[in-house]
Structure 1
Amino acid sequence: MLELINLSAIPVFLLVFIRIAAFFVTLPLFSYTTIPTPFKIGFSFFLALIMYYTVDASGVPVDYNYVLLLAKEAIVGLLIGLLAYIILSAVQIAGGFIDFQMGFAIANVIDPQTGAQSPLIGQYFYIIALLFLLSVNGHHLLIDGIFYSYQLISVEGFIDFQNENIAEFIIQSFNQMFLIAFQMAIPIVGCLFLVDVALGIIARTVPQLNVFVVGLPLKIFVSFAAILVFMSLYIVLVENLFEAMFTAMRDLMRLFGGA
């Protein structure tokens, strides 16, 4: 039985497996606690088994540098998946902006996928974004991303973390994430700002009316109406968000590969 197993292939297979497993630890949709851990490990194992035959790793050193290569593969998988998660979290940040204006900021819910607290509207937008991602086979593109990462980041090579372009690119990705979140939230937040202005005028002209009692239900009603009207715009912005996420993952891989 041992003769049928190529023992020299185990170090290379471990490198491939570590990157894929680390990628699924932070990747949106695949990293959620609702997915059983044995399923994640098994899926990473069989995916690494398939990708192993497409990886050119003839120059992998089996010495003290091998431990550094394992650490490098884990860092690559974690950072690529984390970047995708950070950009996709723009949906929840936009929902947080909207909840703050609606008065729902105090009513957070527990996200069963991540176990963290999430704003109500942000969680609603996030579920729609994930369903849209699945409907356009975006999860296939995420797996394609880790597959083609071996063309940009070699298994036997190291990453120059002293490259200032990597830090600058991550900062730009953060800026882009907040910009997309602002674009998602500005239609509803703008409508609520006009409601606040109208309530302020009413409070000055009709002092007998208690605007604090009328204001909160009115803002909630206007928010839901605005969300219904701007839902088509939201789908377009989510599409742009996915495009930005895939582009950022590709550019980060190129920076890691020294391109």
Structure 2
Amino acid sequence: MITVLDNYPAFLLVFMRVSAFFVTLPLFSYRNIPNIHKIGFAFMLAWIMFFSLDPPIIELDSTFIMLLIKEAIFGLLIGFSAYFILAAIQIAGSFIDFQMGFAIANVIDPQTGGQSPLVGQFLYTFAFLLMLSTNAHYLLLDGVFYSYQFVPIDQLVLPFGQENIVEFIIQSFNSMFIIAFQMSIPVVGSLFLVDIALGVVARTVPQLNIFVVGLPLKIGVSFIMLILVMGSLFLLMEKLFETMAYTMRGLMQLLGGS
């Protein structure tokens, strides 16, 4: 049986892919998880995967540097593919915030360090609770483990120049925006009808200050609609998790040349 000391370059390659995967992966890459915990978890996962994969003997030469760079790029890509699909929730929240008047009140997300819409952060929190309750985060860990079936550890080149990879990325972005639009359309459509009603009232009753009445009315309608469609939003979030897993698998197949 080959130990880590006998084939430590291969273990370093596995550790590099897992570490790069955690840099961009949702939930595991957030700032509220200490870096030492991320490194330790990546090390333990790479240790388990090393003995499960039975990798070939890797020589410590100039080719090893190219393999190390390839592993880092590949890990970042498959983690980012899951991240930008899950960003559909933030986009849906941005659509809703813009219509209800909360677009100016973005908050700092402590998990990512970037600005986040209020409703988007609210839905994002529910999405992560749903992900943890349905064990969908295990699909992410399965993704990095089964990635070696598509891109072996000794594969030197990733075929970025292929046309089907660009087409797949465009289709993935298209799916993300479609799901974001589906999540936001009940609230956005209701607010559009409220705007039409306020426009009619403004023309028929010019003495009424629409700007004073309209903002609290739109906020109230938005919250009522969010409560009514929350069940449907959870179903769309589950669909989003499936799309995230399919996107990771599809990208790994294309980068593996299959």
| TM bucket, shorter chain | over 0.9
The offset of 1:5, in angstroms, is 6.7
Which one of 102, 112, 123 corresponds to residue 121 of structure 2?
123
Whether the 8 Å CA contact 2:107–2:117 is kept in 1: the answer is yes
- 1:92-143 alpha-carbon deviations (Å, 9 max, x no partner): 0000000000000000111110011100000000000000000001111211
* Alpha-carbon distance in structure 2 between the residues aligned to 1:5 and 1:20: 19
Farther off after superposition, 161-170 or 243-252: 161-170
Q: Secondary structure at the match of 2:233?
A: helix
C-alpha offsets along residues 18-60 of structure 1, whole Å, 9 cap, x if unaligned?
0000000000000000000000000000110000012243253
- 2:165–2:251: 8 Å Cα contact kept in structure 1? yes
- The 5 Å alignment of 1:215-254 reads 215-254=214-253
| Structure 1 counterpart of 2:185 | 186
Q: Which letter maps to 2:217?
A: L
How far is the alpha carbon of 1:208 from its aligned partner? 0.8
Rounded Cα–Cα distance in structure 2 between residues aligned with 1:136 and 1:155: 31
Alignment partner for residue 60 of structure 1, among 55, 58, 62?
A: 58
* Dislocated runs of 4+, deviation >6 Å: none
Would you say the 8 A contact 1:61–1:156 is kept in 2?
A: no
Query: Are 1:94 and 2:114 counterparts?
Result: no
Query: Does structure 2 conserve the Cα–Cα contact (< 8 Å) formed by 1:93 and 1:122?
Result: yes
Shift of 1:8: 3.1
Question: Helix, strand or coil for the counterpart of 2:111?
Answer: coil
Inter-partner Cα distance in structure 2 for 1:55 and 1:15: 12
RMSD: 1.3
Provide the residue aligned with 1:36 in structure 2: 34
Q: Percent identity?
A: 62
For residues 154 and 59 of structure 1, what CA distance do their matches in structure 2 show? 13
Asked whether the equivalents of residues 59 and 156 of structure 1 are also in contact (C-alpha less than 8 Å), the reply is no
Matches within 5 A, 1:45-56: 45-56=43-54
Counting only pairs closer than 5 Å after superposition, residues 67-86 of structure 1 correspond to structure 2 as 67-86=65-84
- Where does structure 2 lack aligned partners over 5 or more consecutive residues? none
- 1:95–1:123: 8 Å Cα contact kept in structure 2? yes
Q: How has the CA–CA distance of structure 1 residues 6 and 55 changed in structure 2, closer, same or farther, with 3 Å as cutoff?
A: closer
Structure 1 residue 61: Cα displacement: 4.3
Counterpart of 2:198 in structure 1 is: 199
Query: 1:103, 1:216 within 8 Å by CA — same for their partners in 2?
Result: yes
C-alpha displacement at 1:6, in angstroms? 5.2
Question: Contact 1:60/1:155 (CA < 8 Å) preserved in 2?
Answer: no
Specify the SS of the correspondent of 1:8: coil
Conserved in 2, the CA contact under 8 Å of 1:13 and 1:48?
yes
Counterpart selection for 1:20 from 18, 26, 35: 18
**Does structure 1 conserve the Cα–Cα contact (< 8 Å) formed by 2:89 and 2:124?**
yes
Instruction: Find out whether 1:213 has 2:212 as its counterpart.
Output: yes
Amino acid at match of 1:247: Y
How many residues were matched structurally?
Answer: 256
Report the residue type matching 1:30 in the other structure.
F
- TM-score, normalised with respect to structure 2: 0.96
SS in 1 for 2:70: helix
Point out the more displaced range, 22-31 or 166-175: 166-175
* Residues 195 and 219 in structure 1, CA contact (< 8 A), matched pair in contact too: yes
Could you say what secondary structure the match of 2:99 adopts?
helix
